[in-house]
Copies of this chain bind each other. A is one copy, B any other.
């Protein structure tokens, strides 16, 4: 058992923060306090608040839209699958099985109503977090809730929201329309047959645009114990023998083509760091064979992995798929939680990052190649001003990814703009990324980002660094032209 601030040990805290409090997200939330600056910010925000949403990177399961099954209840929608939420409750001492996650040790998983209650009782723990703002907007604007979550309102909210989620207008496709999403990119395994994307594309009643993103991490990481099985899977779907290096390369190229044929414009890559190698083919093949034969040590396997990532860059420079890099996370920091509850359970912890040296080989080769395009993300904000802005401020192929994950939050977004704009201006940005598996949070996330854009630009107008006219053009570009350009949408 974790000892923490569970209500049973700290009823006072919940009682003080709880009760029945109206849920009324303020219309001017995140806009600057100074009245004149706020007025500018309001005008800027009004200019983009209703623009369609462009979502070039995220983790929505395409089956959600293909099958269009209703969401069942608020816990299954907002709590259990959201590691931004479960992690903070876990830090408060609530075990993950009490938040609806299945426990390999067999401890009973709490039912949704109980999960929801565990969350509502601790809603105050989210004060000041990005999640609090998204969920408030989600509850209010999408799900029609009118009271803040608390111990007192938990049950009524559960019933109200579960009932509402069952209505036709709350099915995924209906919500998709109401969200005014222009394009939604999912994140997909190269071996995926993309049946849901294909089903949607073939469906005459569906007017949306859902595109896959090629995420080949498992096939590039030769240090993984299951790498051989991944290669077999790849061989199976591609019909190309991947037991040798040339086969692997050909299979990856084939799957990239398949993804492009199904609408993909980008690839996505996550690794502990951004390092790439560019070995000659003979050396790569030799390493490949050694790893497959179980003769390679970790250093060799890692070298091969870096080379394969370099091959992804080469392919991007040829096929034009935008290469999004999301490095710098130490995945599954807590082995016992991984074992019991699986991955993506709130304990991926960022690592210090370096891009200047790591990306030099890639940019040496492809940095000025007009077909090559890369979007760089980081969890280490020290690289914003030091490395990313200088790189994006020279290389035509490099775009600045939006503040990611732990940095996808208003204050961090302000720090990002503060750190990169004076070197790279506004037109090297790739635009906002919602990066979410929580479908109903998409509007709130984009809304938050637009408010922060408006606030930030209004500050620059107030300091006479930008004219208000230029600020309007910039905020439109940030939310329209930039993501389209950066991701070739």
Contacts and interface: CB of A to CB of B under 8 A. Distances in A.
A148 B16 CA distance: 44
27 contacts: A2-B370, A26-B464, A29-B465, A33-B462, A33-B463, A34-B34, A87-B393, A88-B425, A90-B396, A92-B427, A124-B427, A128-B460, A128-B465, A129-B425, A132-B425, A330-B360, A335-B364, A336-B364, A337-B368, A348-B390, A349-B356, A349-B394, A381-B382, A409-B423, A412-B419, A412-B422, A415-B418
Interface string A410-435: 11100100110111111110000000
B330 A426 contact: no
A93 B370 contact: yes
Contacts of A13: 477, 481
Contact of A3 (B21, B330, B396, B464): B396
Nearest to A31: B463
B393 A91 contact: yes
Interface in A85-143: 87-88, 90-93, 124-130, 132-133
Contacts of A346: 393-394
Contacts of A124: 427, 470, 473
B370 A3 contact: yes
A208 interface: no
Interface string A7-46: 0000001001100010001101111111011000000000
Contacts of A28: 464
Contacts of A379: 386
Interface in A258-295: none
Contact of A128 (B29, B330, B466): B466
A266 B29 CA distance: 41
Contacts of A30: 463-465
Contact of A459 (B33, B347, B473): B33
Copies of this chain, tallied across the complex: 3
Contacts of A412: 385, 419, 422
The 9 closest A-B pairs by CB, nearest first: A3-B370, A409-B422, A26-B464, A33-B462, A29-B464, A128-B421, A2-B396, A87-B394, A411-B418
Nearest to A409: B422
B389 A406 contact: yes
A289 to B, nearest CB: 31
A465 B133 CA distance: 7
Nearest to A94: B396
A354 B386 CA distance: 14
A446 B409 CA distance: 29
Interface string A328-346: 0010011111000000001
A477 B12 CA distance: 11
Given A350-B356, A351-B356, A485-B5, A334 B129 contact: no
Contacts of A223: none
A138 to B, nearest CB: 16
A368 B426 contact: no
Contact of A334 (B126, B347, B364, B466): B364
Contact of A422 (B29, B130, B336, B466): B130
A438 to B, nearest CB: 17
Contacts of A425: 88, 125-129, 132
B470 A390 contact: no
A4 interface: yes
Given A33-B37, A347-B394, A421 B129 contact: yes
Contacts of A60: none
A380 interface: yes
Nearest to A126: B425
A216 interface: no
A105 to B, nearest CB: 13
Given A381-B386, A385-B381, A473-B124, A396 B33 contact: no
A28 B337 CA distance: 48
B349 A391 contact: yes
Nearest to A368: B2
Q: Which of A17, A380, A395 has the most CB of B within 10 A?
A: A395
A386 B37 contact: no
